[in-house]
A and B are shown apart, each in its own frame.
Chain A
Amino acid sequence: MAKDRNQDGDYSGQLRRLLVGVLLLCLLGLFLVWRIDSPRIERFRAQVIDRVVPSFDWAMAPVTGAVNIIHDFQSYQRIYQQNQELRRELQQMKAWKEAALQLEQENARLLDLNNVQLDPRLTFVTGVVLADSGSPFRQSVLINVGARDGIVDGWAAMDGLGLVGRISGVGDNTSRVILLTDTSSHIPVTIEPSGQQALVSGDNTPSPTVSFIEAPDRVRPGDRLITSGDGGVFPAGLHVGQLAKDPGGRLRVRLSADYERLEFLRVLRNWRDERISDPGGLVTPYGPIPNPVDPENAAQESVVAEPADG
């Protein structure tokens, strides 16, 4: 009996070792393929997430809601303090509101004077946050809009106030937003009012670092950061946050978006601007002008110039 069992164990043991070997080969092979040809596997990952996470959705919303209610109960304990704080903030906000109204009127007047056309293509799709990254090492969220709604990799995601992150990984019904706080997030920004260019890089802390400033002495904490649109990834002019200095003297950005409660995100549709790759094409569309008095060329010039006038 004992011998019989041993033989049996040996046989199944070998079979199991073979299975483990094959599994290891498959897994490591997948990892190597990912390292070599990452986009293909990432598309596969997006499809898997697209299949799996929405099936959790029915349970996720109530559980998240319940936990948030408990959080809210905890904050009720210091309701008097909060009330005082809110009153004080309301006073400040009233002052700001007056200023904003005046500025809005002034802005409308100026826009009218200049006859400016705001870019009509900058519209947005709003999505609900389904899940977070599930790991303390990555900062990302899943939202419930995807390729079905026309989302494309690389578009910017904002909450009501500021930039939150960029789309990275689009499934059919879901897409992943890499937050600005993730270590792989690097966004080119402009620091107002000095106009310095810089790079906002996440480092897994609530306030990402600001680096590669040309003249650090010309910026000061409190300056506004807006996206610069360099590199063609983001539309320019999205509000990111305010500059701040941490105790170690490094410049960081205090993000305007409310990262504690990311519930709804706006994904900005960003149809890429036309690229200017050929400097000659700007001067004339047909290369350098051979002879200014050539009548045929001059006719073409006027045809091309006309739409720009109107």
Chain B
Amino acid sequence: MAERSQTYLWAMRALFVGICTLFVFLRLLPLDTLPRGWAGPDFILAFTLAWGLRRPEFVPPLLVAAVFLLCDLLFHRPPGLWAALVLIGSQTLRARAPDLRDLTFPVEWVSVATTLVAMTLGYRLILGVLMVDQAPLGLSLMQMLMTLIAYPLVVLVSQSLLGVRKVAPGELDAMRP
């Protein structure tokens, strides 16, 4: 039993890495080199937050930091800052997860939204204070909104297709070795 759940745990972690790699790959495809006037949702972030709220053990802090640091390096962002903010955000959400477990989805969505807004504002504030070149404000806000809009979709896919659900009260004991 213990062994099986251990294998399952590592399989889900590998699945998370696979999903992140897939989205990194899709974003790196050289399809439109013209500047677009819009920004799509950040699916990697949405998956991290959604999984972190449901099964924190699938997205351990080390994995989150590694994935987002790699994204920072690949997407030509200031390295480290966004990764640190995502780590803080996901850990804050994780700390609130026991309260959210019994509540409905809209409440969860609102708390994800506040975290995301705080992360985006903090990011822009720190970059502004250190006088680093920034992306246009409209584009960052648009990406934030799109991520929020995409969040329910990500949750739906995670729950129905990938089987990442909240742990039911009785299940927690059964799962432990």
Contact = CB atoms under 8 A, between A and B. Distances in A.
B139 interface: yes
Given A1-B173, A53-B74, A260-B34, 10 more contacts: A23-B61, A23-B87, A34-B79, A44-B73, A45-B73, A48-B74, A133-B76, A134-B24, A134-B74, A205-B37
A176 interface: yes
A28 B70 contact: no
Contact of B84 (A27, A45, A130, A183): A27
Contact of A19 (B62, B70, B78): B62
A27 B29 contact: no
Contacts of B73: 44-45, 48-49
A40 to B, nearest CB: 11
Interface stretch (B10-18, B46-54, B128-136, B160-168): B128-136
B76 A138 contact: yes
A97 interface: no
Interface string B136-171: 100110010000000000000000000000000000
29 contacts: A20-B91, A23-B84, A24-B84, A27-B65, A27-B69, A27-B83, A31-B81, A31-B84, A35-B78, A35-B132, A44-B73, A56-B25, A59-B25, A60-B25, A63-B29, A64-B29, A64-B31, A67-B29, A129-B30, A134-B74, A135-B77, A137-B139, A139-B33, A141-B30, A183-B135, A204-B135, A204-B139, A205-B37, A260-B32
A181 interface: yes
B8 interface: no
Nearest to B88: A24
A196 B155 CA distance: 57
8 nearest A-B residue pairs (beta carbon): A137-B135, A31-B80, A30-B80, A27-B84, A134-B27, A131-B28, A136-B39, A27-B80
Contacts of A23: 61-62, 65, 84, 87
Given A23-B61, A23-B87, A204-B139, A31 B79 contact: yes
B105 interface: no
B106 interface: no
Contact of B34 (A5, A16, A259): A259
A153 interface: no
A186 to B, nearest CB: 11
A53 B28 contact: yes
Chain B residues touching A, range: 35 or more
Interface string A113-137: 0000000000000000111111111
Contact of B75 (A56, A135, A184): A135
A60 B176 contact: no
A256 B38 CA distance: 24
Contacts of B25: 56, 59-60
A130 B33 contact: no
B130 A35 contact: yes
A19 B130 CA distance: 27
Given A27-B87, A35-B130, A141 B65 contact: no
A34 B84 CA distance: 14
A136 B31 contact: no
- Among B32, B37, B79, B135: residue with most chain A CB under 10 A: B79
Contacts of B91: 20
A270 B78 CA distance: 29
A183 B133 contact: yes
